[in-house]
């Protein structure tokens, strides 16, 4: 199936980018974090590495207040040394085969991140492919949930967002998202 790289939903452009999310110039980027918000590998490691200690300091303050961040929830910090002004940290579900509400928890991670960006009146936002790395979510299924959730939000909620990007780290992931975006667009 041929892919699609960009669609418009309402007044918001939804596009795919192949690259490193820490290098995106959108106002905010989303981090695929873990409940203790103390950094990790993958996207989490890259964002803390590129953003510097200020981000971890703010995460530490948040955790001292709330203890841990539950799966599907999101919190916002500054972007530290990143081009992005903000980092929205969200927790995707660990994949356990699909019968423990993983799809709804993944959808919630995207939805809560979009709500947070809208609350801050942001115009642009970049997502990674949440849960499809260390958390083991099958890529095509993760892409389907991600795109359908973001499209549903953009159709249903008045938002400040004018551009939303999925920043995909490698060509294989990009191709999967591009095929899923074509599928989602054909059903709109
Ligand atoms: N930019 C964009 N995408 C990236 C980058 C990057 N710099 N680094 C990795 N990715 C991609 C991975 O290839 C994968 O497709 O992000 C996707 C999510 O992978 P992970 O970062 O492993 O995130 P996740 O599967 O949600 O697991 C989160 O891993 O790093 C720990 O602390 C983190 O416990 C948490 C868990």
Check pocket membership of 32 for ligand 1, CB cut-off 6 A: yes
Task: Answer yes or no: are the C-beta atoms of 29 and 76 closer than 8 Å.
Answer: no
**pLDDT at residue 117 in the model:** 98
**pLDDT at residue 3 in the model:** 80
Query: How many angstroms separate the alpha carbon of residue 162 from the centre of ligand 1?
Result: 25
**pLDDT at residue 166 in the model:** 98
Would you give the distance in Å from CA 14 to the centre of its chain? 13
Task: Answer yes or no: are the C-beta atoms of 69 and 78 closer than 8 Å.
Answer: no
Query: How many angstroms separate the alpha carbon of residue 96 from the centre of ligand 1?
Result: 17
- Residues 135-139 have a mean pLDDT of 98
Per residue in 77-134, pLDDT tens? 999 999 999 999 999 999 999 999 999 999 999 999 999 999 999 999 999 999 999 9
| Catalytically annotated residues | 44
Check pocket membership of 132 for ligand 1, CB cut-off 6 A: yes
**pLDDT at residue 108 in the model:** 99
Task: Answer yes or no: are the C-beta atoms of 32 and 128 closer than 8 Å.
Answer: yes
Q: Residue 134, Cβ neighbours under 10 Å: how many?
A: 15
Distance CA 172, CA 18 (A): 10
pLDDT interval class at 154 (50, 70, 90): very high
Total-model pTM: 0.98
Provide the sign of the torsion angle of the four alpha carbons 93, 94, 97, 99, taken in this order.
Answer: negative
Give the position, in ligand 1's atom list, of the atom nearest the Cα of 44: 30
- Strand, helix or coil for residue 89: strand
Per residue in 23-43, pLDDT tens? 999 999 999 999 999 999 999
Domain layout of the chain by residue ranges: 6-186
**pLDDT at residue 49 in the model:** 98
Q: Residue 71, Cβ neighbours under 10 Å: how many?
A: 20
What is the residue-averaged pLDDT of the chain? 97
Fold of 6-186: 3.40.220
């Amino acid at each position: 199936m041929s892919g699609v790289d960009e669609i418009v939903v309402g007044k918001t452009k939804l596009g795919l980018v192949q690259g490193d999310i820490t290098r995106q110039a959108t106002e905010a980027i989303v981090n695929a974090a873990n409940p203790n918000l103390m950094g990790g590998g993958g996207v989490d490691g890259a964002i803390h590495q590129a953003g510097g200690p200020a981000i971890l300091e703010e995460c530490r303050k948040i955790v001292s207040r709330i203890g841990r961040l539950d799966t599907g929830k999101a919190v916002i910090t500054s972007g530290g040394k990143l081009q992005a002004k903000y980092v929205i940290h969200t927790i995707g579900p660990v994949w356990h085969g699909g019968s423990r509400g993983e799809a709804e928890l993944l959808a919630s991670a995207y939805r809560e991140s979009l709500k947070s960006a809208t609350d801050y009146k942001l115009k642009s936002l970049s997502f990674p492919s949440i849960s499809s790395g260390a958390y083991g979510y099958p890529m095509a299924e993760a892409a389907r949930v991600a795109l359908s959730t973001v499209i549903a939000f953009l159709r249903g909620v008045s938002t400040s967002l004018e551009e939303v990007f999925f920043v995909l780290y490698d060509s294989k992931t990009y191709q999967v998202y591009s095929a899923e975006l074509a599928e989602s667009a054909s059903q709109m």
